[in-house]
Amino acid sequence: MNDQQSTSAAGSRAAAGRRDTRNTGPGRLLIAVYAVFAISASARAGYQILTKFSEAPLAYLLSAFAALVYVVATVSLAKAGSTWFKVSVAAVLVELVGVLVVGALSVFDPVAFPHETVWSLFGRGYGFIPLLLPVLGLVWLYRRRPGQGNGTVKGAP
């Protein structure tokens, strides 16, 4: 059960002492950026749905979904424990798939996706940060996977 512990490559990071948290160091920056996206995406989706939902229901529902994913990612990254780790992985993977699929769809079908979701055109309206964020998120989650420290849960891939 603990056989990984001694061979863990985490050495310099002193990961053992805070093995099940992802909210320190670089993780803090990640959470901060996620929080900004959670707030802005929620506000934007709320505004779109309240004022002009009938114009493009699909795109605005997608906006709301994206906002929800960012909220879940922000909260789960800030929480300790292996359950929240799994929630984080799920949220970040959904985000990655979302930005890729919606990004591609918005290029090929600009009518259904009038470039007004966070993920449209691979997040170009937001400096491509929506595309970059899930990748950095996965890297961070991999480096802080629970199995590294206490051996209770096997890490992602």
Partner 1 sequence: MDAYFYIILVVGLLSTVTCVVAGILKKAPNDVTILSVAAVELALVVYLVGSIVRVIAGEPIAGEAWEFWGYLATAMLLPPAAVYWSILERTRWSNFVLAAVGVTALVMAARMNQIWY
Q: Which stretch binds partner 1 (CB under 8 A): 19-27, 52-60, 83-91, 144-152?
A: 19-27
Enclosing H/E stretch for 110: none
Residue 83 sits in the site that holds partner 1 (CB under 8 A): no
Touching partner 1, residues 49-68 (CB under 8 A): 51
CA–CA distance, 156 with 7 (Å, rounded to integer): 18
Q: How many CB atoms lie within 10 A of CB 71?
A: 18
Single residue of 25, 114, 147, 155 touching partner 1 by CB under 8 A: 25
The reply to whether 29 sits near partner 1 by the rule CB under 8 A is yes
Q: Which is nearer to partner 1, 79 or 86 (CB)?
A: 79
Q: Between 86 and 143, name the residue whose CB sits nearer to partner 1.
A: 143
3-state SS string over 62-84?
Answer: HHHHHHHHHHHHHHHHHCCCHHH
